[in-house]
């Protein structure tokens, strides 16, 4: 008979926590519990990737209709019906949450719709007052958006609230230059909202490849986003016709809504973690080793709570590695190397491996890059441009990075990611016969380097 109520207690019902819980219970027979204070599915399913991607889809139809006319179709776009879309969106999120709950129940995981905090190395306390003991505790609480400390900041919304607006605004200010801010700038602009974006830095999408983010910014501006670089918000206040905003460049504006996308923070506040010996970093992230183990041997952490690589598939992989290590006796370190990712800006951006700047700082490289009008846009007389880029090591000819700015770049980068993860060389790419006519054929037809160094 076990001395504990459970073999594993998971705190957090997002993608990583749910996967770890149900695999531990379903595949190893462990007695597992999970506590979630909000909705099951976490950031990705409820207030992140899934609803955002559906909004990206919705915002792309006006351009499709305009392009269709150039191809001979008598097609016009009427007004966007936010109520219709929002109702379907809410129903879809309800459906997905129900699936998460069903998967947990089907695996034999006991669930608690309550907030949980850690009391000691083997005990959690629920907001209901109950205490449960477990041999292992897995922290998977995720993260949340944070707003800057400026006068009037409470008037703004974040990415959490933008999915639940009662009506679509006529205009909006989006503050931030990361992928969340830039994605929603494209979404709102595509839905017909007059969209302004402020970013305090010199270029959006800091940390990504410079050439790629430059093209994305140009294309966003061309599509109608009023992008102001080197600009931030000084103060805001409520006025009769909206939210008055004073910017660092001295200008003043009134917007229906202001959305802050200026950073995220791990959900580790008031969790009792440091009191029991779990070490936290400067941003409140749970510090873990390569096996996701904290400074307390019985407590592990995965996903955005650790602020390692904040992507849903990464959290799931971390959860699977945790189960392999702890419940299957197969110590499995988490592999965070060469993770493909997509940014659903308009145009879309797919990337895997090193940026040109990071690669150049590491070793001598060759850069193969082409930017062009794709056939579909060119025929329609549209100015849209795409980019394909390979970063290649001069020493061993390995492809160190692939960058794609184009429609469906996320779909393309998934395939390119396999080759890069396998250690493919430029010559391996060259040996592949091109598929014609498609944009991605450029990845295997670029023969001469654009630049070296």
For residue range 431-450, what is the model confidence (pLDDT) as tens digits? Answer: 999 999 999 999 999 999 99
CA distance 322 to 312: 15
Q: Which residue has the tokens 């607006």?
A: 165
Please, where are the H alpha helices in 136-287?
179-190, 210-223
Residue 1: the pLDDT is 43
DSSP code of 328?
A: S
Cα angle for residues 166, 171, 176 (degrees, 5° grid): 100
DSSP letter, residue 153: G
100 is in an annotated binding site: no
Name the architecture of domain 6-143+265-328.
3-Layer(bba) Sandwich (3.50)
Q: Where does the chain hold its CATH 3.30.390.30 domain(s)? A: 341-452
Q: Hey, is 376 helix, strand or coil?
A: helix
What's residue 292's pLDDT? 98
Pick the CATH number of 341-452 from 3.40.640.10, 3.90.600.10, 3.20.20.100, 3.30.390.30: 3.30.390.30
> Is 60 labelled a binding residue?
no
Q: Given pLDDT bands bounded at 50, 70 and 90, which one contains residue 355?
A: very high
pLDDT digits (tens, 9 = 90+) for 182-235: 999 999 999 999 999 999 999 999 999 999 999 999 999 999 999 999 999 999
Using alpha carbons only, give the angle 119, 125, 130 rounded to the nearest 5 degrees.
140
302 in a known ligand binding site: no
- CA–CA gap between residue 400 and residue 423 (Å, rounded): 8
CB 115 within 8 Å of CB 12: no
Confidence of residue 69 (pLDDT cuts 50, 70, 90): very high
Q: Is 276 helix (H, G, I), strand (E, B) or coil?
A: helix
Portion of the chain with pLDDT greater than 90, in percent: 98
Q: Please indicate if the annotation marks 350 as binding a ligand.
A: no
Q: Let me know the angle formed at the C-alpha of 293 by 333 and 302, rounded to the nearest 5 degrees.
A: 80
Q: SS3 sequence, 277-316?
A: CCCECCCCCECCCCCCECCCCCEEECHHHHCCCCCHHHHH
Strands 32-35 and 110-112: parallel
**Residue 77, pLDDT above cutoff 90:** no
Q: What is the mean pLDDT of residues 396-404?
A: 98
pLDDT above 70 covers a percentage of the chain that reads: 100
Q: In this structure, what DSSP letter does residue 73 have?
A: -
pLDDT of 367: 98
What pLDDT shows up at residue 78? 87
3-state secondary structure of 55: helix
Residue 53 annotated as part of some ligand binding site: yes
The answer to whether 232 and 248 are in contact (CB under 8 A) is yes
d(CA 347, CA 345): 5
The helix or strand, by DSSP H or E, that contains position 219, with its residue range, turns out to be helix 210-223
CATH T-level fold of 148-261 = FAD/NAD(P)-binding domain (3.50.50)
2 has a pLDDT exceeding 90: no
Classified as helix, coil or strand, 405 is strand
Q: How far apart are CA 376 and CA 384, in angstroms?
A: 10
Residue 368 labelled as part of a binding site = no
Which residues are annotated as catalytic? 436
- Choose the weakest-confidence range: 34-48, 66-80, 368-382: 66-80
Question: Which pair of structure tokens corresponds to residue 403?
Answer: 């960058």
**Tens digits of per-residue pLDDT, 231-278?**
999 999 999 999 999 999 999 999 999 999 999 999 999 999 999 999
CA-nearest of 279, 5, 280 to 123 is 5
Q: What is the pLDDT of residues 289-340, one digit of tens each?
A: 999 999 999 999 999 999 999 999 999 999 999 999 999 999 999 999 999 9
Residues of the chain with CATH 3.50.50.60: 6-143+265-328, 148-261
Q: Using the CB atoms, write b or e for 99-129: b if 16+ within 10 Å.
A: ebbebbeebebbbbeebbbbebbbbbbbeee
Nearest CA to 295 out of 315, 281, 307 is that of 281
Q: At what angle do helices 15-28 and 82-106 cross, to 10 degrees?
A: 30
Mean pLDDT of the chain: 97
């Amino acid at each position: 008979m076990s001395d504990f109520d459970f073999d594993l207690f998971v705190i957090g019902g997002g993608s990583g926590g749910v996967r770890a819980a149900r695999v531990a219970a379903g595949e190893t027979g462990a007695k597992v519990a999970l506590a979630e204070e909000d909705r099951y599915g976490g950031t990705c399913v409820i207030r992140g990737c899934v609803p955002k991607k559906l909004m990206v889809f919705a915002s792309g139809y006006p351009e499709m209709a305009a392009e269709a006319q150039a191809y001979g179709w008598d097609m016009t776009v009427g007004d966007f019906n936010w109520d219709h879309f929002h109702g379907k969106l809410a129903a879809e999120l309800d459906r997905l949450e129900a699936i998460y709950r069903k998967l947990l129940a089907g695996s034999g995981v006991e669930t608690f719709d309550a907030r949980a905090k850690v009391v000691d190395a083997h005990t959690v306390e629920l907001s209901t007052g109950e205490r449960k003991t477990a041999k292992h505790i897995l922290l998977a609480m995720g993260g949340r958006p944070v707003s800057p400390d400026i006068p009037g900041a409470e008037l703004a919304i974040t990415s959490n609230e933008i999915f639940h607006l009662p009506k679509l605004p006529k205009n909006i200010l989006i503050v931030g230059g990361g992928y969340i801010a830039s994605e929603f700038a494209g979404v709102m602009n595509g839905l017909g909202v007059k969209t302004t974006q402020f970013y305090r830095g010199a270029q959006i999408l800091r940390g990504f490849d410079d050439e790629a983010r430059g093209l994305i910014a140009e294309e966003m501006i061309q599509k109608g986003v009023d992008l102001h670089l080197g600009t931030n918000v000084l103060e805001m206040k409520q006025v009769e016709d909206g939210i008055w905003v004073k910017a660092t460049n001295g200008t003043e504006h009134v917007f229906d809504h202001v959305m802050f996308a200026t950073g995220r923070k791990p959900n580790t506040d008031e969790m009792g973690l440091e009191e029991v010996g779990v070490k936290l970093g400067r941003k409140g992230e749970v510090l873990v080793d390569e096996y996701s183990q904290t400074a307390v041997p019985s407590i592990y952490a995965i996903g955005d709570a650790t602020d390692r690589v904040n992507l849903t598939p990464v959290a799931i992989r971390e959860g699977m590695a945790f189960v392999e290590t702890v419940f299957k006796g197969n110590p499995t370190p988490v592999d965070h190397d060469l993770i493909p990712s997509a940014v659903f800006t308009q145009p879309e951006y797919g990337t895997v491996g090193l940026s040109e700047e990071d690669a150049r700082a590491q070793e001598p490289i060759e850069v193969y890059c082409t930017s062009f009008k794709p056939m579909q846009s060119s025929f329609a007389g549209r100015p849209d441009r795409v980019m394909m880029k390979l970063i290649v090591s001069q020493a061993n000819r390995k492809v160190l990075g692939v960058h794609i700015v184009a429609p469906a770049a996320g779909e393309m980068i998934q395939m390119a990611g396999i080759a890069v993860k396998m250690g493919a060389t430029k010559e391996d790419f060259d040996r592949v016969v091109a598929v014609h006519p498609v944009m991605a054929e450029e990845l295997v037809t670029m023969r001469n380097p654009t630049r070296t160094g």
